[in-house]
Chains A and B, each alone.
Chain A
């Protein structure tokens, strides 16, 4: 796939404000166009690059070219490392479709395994000698090296155990943070996000102030953990707090585009209007004099202009356009390893929020106009609104005859009287039942006592 021709289109501006040497990373990767796999892959390094490529290969549906492209790149990347298990996997999946260069290379496998054995032996010797010498720092580094070694081989459980073992030999705050970052990395790869949260907490508990980049990394990790656990609001808050100094420094886990995308979508799905406003870029509101936007996040949003546009559309009530952007982004978002399971839920929540927000300012709403705005039929819209009314998210009622939605404001006074009467009756019933039960217990007690005498 040729990079340069692909990306030109009216919706995508290449933003070049600052950081000229990083232009390649500032191109919109997450967009409505079919994913440019090479460009996507350059955003990451290390194991996550491989895992993401494999994920794309298994989730791109029937698209053979995309699948083979992803597998090819995965193969190349794996061969640069030391993980023979992954190598075998990818060769199976390629299944000879990419020609001779991308077949099983048993020689390579054997040599890598042999080297691994040797390295393991050496590390074990070193570690046992450090142990006998009881030098804390060396033992820590020994375990750390083991952790790195197992991680490279793909034995994540062992890697995790070794990293965690360094805890007992950490002497400075830096050591602890180092251990936490490693534990977090392995936990993310293993998909165990509860560990991620606990190690983020451990790292943040440090009394010394953290290096800003490390702090940003921790927030990303925390955000990811919340995302996986479906706590979208918390995830959004964490992502929004990530300082732009992060840049590419955490691309063994996450790219800055991802921060923008995840943060933006989670915020849309879970924030209310005032919270949302807090991070919309200033220049889209000429009327607003005060600076209340989040300068940090603006930089991130520049990386994913479509996400930025759709957030703006949502805030300005241009729902049709917003939903259109969402629709076009969907295919690519489904290829993202972390977002895949959440796309549908987030989209559903965003749509619901849009519906609710649309009806909020009005006393009555013409359903056919609303159906046009949301690109759906009147009967479909009626069903959606019915569900929202049942969930008490919209206070309104539908005039099905004339196809109008009328806002329904509860009469507080009547509602209060009703509630009071109801509570009076409930109190009555509950107290009488209680007294009867107390009586029965007393009787049983007396009967027992009577028998015992």
Chain B
């Protein structure tokens, strides 16, 4: 994305650049100096941009770890605007080194006005062909442009380093070498993060690169944070969407479901493209993970989502409904009928995974009803071709831990066993203990959130205004009088 800055009065002077370098070198020691430096840098921004002599070599006079703040500003100026592929390579290298060695405290100081504008349609949201796709269908990574629907422009103060990193990402993508950007962005995320509970604007970019570079493990490491605070909905939607795709790639369907669920049920006034794509994947992952489908969205989803998401994803709801019936042949027919739609959305691989999960779900149901069953019977009931295939499926499920069973090859019989877990081991006690601790922690978070909300003037103001309508003469005031209008 491009960072637009406002035109302010220019300060003349060619040696000002050298002066600036000196200032940076001198004022990077203490926090008091740093704030002074920050003011100087902000004032000098226009001059720097106008200075055509400024080159990458200038940066060699500075130390990235000691003079991070100054380095950052210079880097920012040097790298905005178009450049040749060769220069891009150098720039990319420079930024990577900077990110790995910079001082997190210093770079967090630098912020300026940036427009988070919807009209940024030049940002390409790349649906990086979910890993499953690439593996099962050998698809190449496709780029589809999805535009962000919200028309509002709003100003917010973003970190300079964030816009720098975004530019870095764009360069890396232009060079078609996403792998280069993975490690730098990972460390950038960690440095920019104020707390591990808060989402930054860099999270989605990092995940995007991981997807494109197929570094799912790296992406997954970011996802294991418990994000509880979010500033920008768009960042959040993208984070969840890309995160869901990474989890699908890692076959961690439970977590993928959680992330996609968060997008689908997020509060929104009108359906946006990210939510729609997330919903499509959500349906398929639900089928794979829990083996059933319900057309109605959870109650907490926004009314806009509940009304409109379904209409835009009809082939998927059809697959879901057919899946509920449990007949493989019908499901396959539906898939074939809509295969062009699935291909367009790059979901064909995921759909195929869903279809093969139907066998698993049907076999799982059989374990509820039968103690022993012949492989041939299993094949007949689940509509597999022959006993051999049934054996393969059952074996796979035993290995994945989805069922407990013994196969007797001599008479071709499968004996289904109960879950041997007795909940008596020390490991299990540790598991229970950790769940308890987590629950206590979450409760504390919830209470803290409630308390902070009760003190929030904006919230109280709104309640105070609305309270007029419901004045039934309550015994006690939950909101102080001064907030009533």
Q: Which of A11-19, A91-99, A277-285, A419-427 contacts B (4 or more CB under 8 A)?
A: A419-427
The residues of A that contact B232 with a CB separation of less than 8 Å are: 443
A439 and B230 contact, Cβ closer than 8 Å, known pairs A400-B377, A427-B439: yes
B371 touches A397 (CB 8 A): yes
A443 and B442 contact, Cβ closer than 8 Å, known pairs A402-B372, A414-B423, A421-B432: no
CB of B2 within 8 A of chain A?
Answer: no
Q: Considering the chains assembled together, what is the distance between the CA atoms of A433 and B233 in angstroms?
A: 14
Q: Considering the chains assembled together, what is the distance between the CA atoms of A451 and B153 in angstroms?
A: 10
Q: Considering the chains assembled together, what is the distance between the CA atoms of A425 and B257 in angstroms?
A: 14
Return the CB mask of B251-276 against A: 1 if under 8 Å, else 0: 00000001001100111000000000
A401 touches B458 (CB 8 A): no
Q: Which partner residue on chain A sits nearest B434 by CB separation? A: A424
Q: Taking each of B445, B458, B459, which has the highest tally of chain A beta carbons within 10 Å of its own beta carbon?
A: B458
CB of B229 within 8 A of chain A?
Answer: yes
Could you say which of B416, B438, B449 contacts A428, with CB atoms under 8 Å apart? Answer: B438
The residues of B that contact A429 with a CB separation of less than 8 Å are: 258
The residues of A that contact B422 with a CB separation of less than 8 Å are: 414
B371 touches A440 (CB 8 A): no
Closest approach, in angstroms, between the C-beta of B231 and any C-beta of chain A? 6
A438 touches B435 (CB 8 A): no
Within 8 A of A (CB), among B214-242: 226-233, 236
Q: Considering the chains assembled together, what is the distance between the CA atoms of A433 and B436 in angstroms?
A: 18
Closest approach, in angstroms, between the C-beta of A390 and any C-beta of chain B? 7
CB of A406 within 8 A of chain B?
Answer: yes
A390 and B368 contact, Cβ closer than 8 Å, known pairs A425-B435, A437-B265, A437-B300: yes
A431 and B458 contact, Cβ closer than 8 Å, known pairs A414-B423, A424-B436, A441-B267: no
Q: Considering the chains assembled together, what is the distance between the CA atoms of A390 and B453 in angstroms?
A: 47
Closest approach, in angstroms, between the C-beta of B476 and any C-beta of chain A? 25
B442 touches A389 (CB 8 A): no
CB of B446 within 8 A of chain A?
Answer: yes
A400 touches B372 (CB 8 A): yes
Could you say which of A389, A417, A427, A446 contacts B368, with CB atoms under 8 Å apart? Answer: A389
Closest approach, in angstroms, between the C-beta of A402 and any C-beta of chain B? 7
B154 touches A398 (CB 8 A): no
Q: Considering the chains assembled together, what is the distance between the CA atoms of A268 and B377 in angstroms?
A: 35
The residues of B that contact A401 with a CB separation of less than 8 Å are: 372-374, 411, 413
Closest approach, in angstroms, between the C-beta of A407 and any C-beta of chain B? 11
Q: Which partner residue on chain A sits nearest B428 by CB separation? A: A417
CB of A292 within 8 A of chain B?
Answer: no
The residues of A that contact B227 with a CB separation of less than 8 Å are: 436
Could you say which of A424, A433, A439, A442 contacts B261, with CB atoms under 8 Å apart? Answer: A433
CB of B419 within 8 A of chain A?
Answer: yes
A390 touches B369 (CB 8 A): yes
Q: Considering the chains assembled together, what is the distance between the CA atoms of A389 and B366 in angstroms?
A: 10
B442 touches A437 (CB 8 A): no
CB of B485 within 8 A of chain A?
Answer: no
Q: Which partner residue on chain A sits nearest B269 by CB separation? A: A444
Closest approach, in angstroms, between the C-beta of A438 and any C-beta of chain B? 7
B228 touches A432 (CB 8 A): yes
CB of A105 within 8 A of chain B?
Answer: no
Using C-beta atoms within 8 Å of the partner chain, give the interface range for chain A: 35 or more
A435 and B432 contact, Cβ closer than 8 Å, known pairs A424-B439, A451-B154: no
Q: Considering the chains assembled together, what is the distance between the CA atoms of A226 and B283 in angstroms?
A: 41
CB of A413 within 8 A of chain B?
Answer: yes
Q: Which partner residue on chain A sits nearest B419 by CB separation? A: A414
Q: Considering the chains assembled together, what is the distance between the CA atoms of A440 and B236 in angstroms?
A: 9
Closest approach, in angstroms, between the C-beta of B263 and any C-beta of chain A? 10
A431 and B446 contact, Cβ closer than 8 Å, known pairs A414-B419, A424-B435: yes
Q: Considering the chains assembled together, what is the distance between the CA atoms of A433 and B226 in angstroms?
A: 11
Closest approach, in angstroms, between the C-beta of A15 and any C-beta of chain B? 46
The residues of B that contact A389 with a CB separation of less than 8 Å are: 368-369
Q: Which partner residue on chain A sits nearest B152 by CB separation? A: A451
Q: Considering the chains assembled together, what is the distance between the CA atoms of A446 and B231 in angstroms?
A: 10
Closest approach, in angstroms, between the C-beta of A433 and any C-beta of chain B? 6
Q: Considering the chains assembled together, what is the distance between the CA atoms of A427 and B443 in angstroms?
A: 10
Return the CB mask of A364-392 against B: 1 if under 8 Å, else 0: 00000000000000000000001001100
CB of A445 within 8 A of chain B?
Answer: yes
B262 touches A428 (CB 8 A): no
The residues of A that contact B258 with a CB separation of less than 8 Å are: 429, 433
A414 touches B421 (CB 8 A): yes
Closest approach, in angstroms, between the C-beta of B43 and any C-beta of chain A? 26
Q: Which partner residue on chain B sits nearest A446 by CB separation? A: B458
Return the CB mask of B354-396 against A: 1 if under 8 Å, else 0: 0000000000010011111110010000000000000000000
CB of A1 within 8 A of chain B?
Answer: no
Could you say which of A390, A398, A428, A450 contacts B442, with CB atoms under 8 Å apart? Answer: A428
Q: Which partner residue on chain B sits nearest A417 by CB separation? A: B423
A400 and B374 contact, Cβ closer than 8 Å, known pairs A389-B368, A390-B369, A429-B258: yes
The residues of B that contact A424 with a CB separation of less than 8 Å are: 435-436, 438-439
Could you say which of B233, B266, B442 contacts A431, with CB atoms under 8 Å apart? Answer: B442
Contact sample, A vs B, 17 pairs, CB 8 Å cutoff: A397-B370, A400-B370, A400-B371, A400-B372, A401-B372, A402-B372, A418-B423, A431-B443, A432-B228, A433-B265, A434-B300, A437-B265, A438-B449, A439-B228, A445-B462, A451-B152, A451-B154
Hey, which bits of chain B sit against chain A, CB under 8 A? Answer: 152, 154, 226-233, 236, 258, 261-262, 265-267, 300, 365, 368-374, 377, 411, 413, 416, 418-419, 421-423, 428, 431-432, 435-436, 438-439, 442-443, 445-446, 449, 453, 456, 458-459, 462
Excluding A414-B421, A414-B422, A440-B266, 17 further A-B contacts by CB distance (< 8 Å) are A390-B369, A399-B372, A400-B371, A417-B428, A424-B439, A428-B438, A433-B258, A433-B265, A436-B227, A437-B265, A437-B266, A437-B300, A440-B233, A441-B267, A442-B459, A445-B458, A451-B152
Which 6 A-B pairs rank lowest in CB-CB distance, beginning with the nearest?
A424-B435, A417-B423, A401-B372, A399-B371, A397-B371, A389-B369
Hey, which bits of chain A sit against chain B, CB under 8 A? Answer: 386, 389-390, 397-402, 406, 411, 413-414, 417-418, 420-421, 424-425, 427-429, 431-447, 449-451
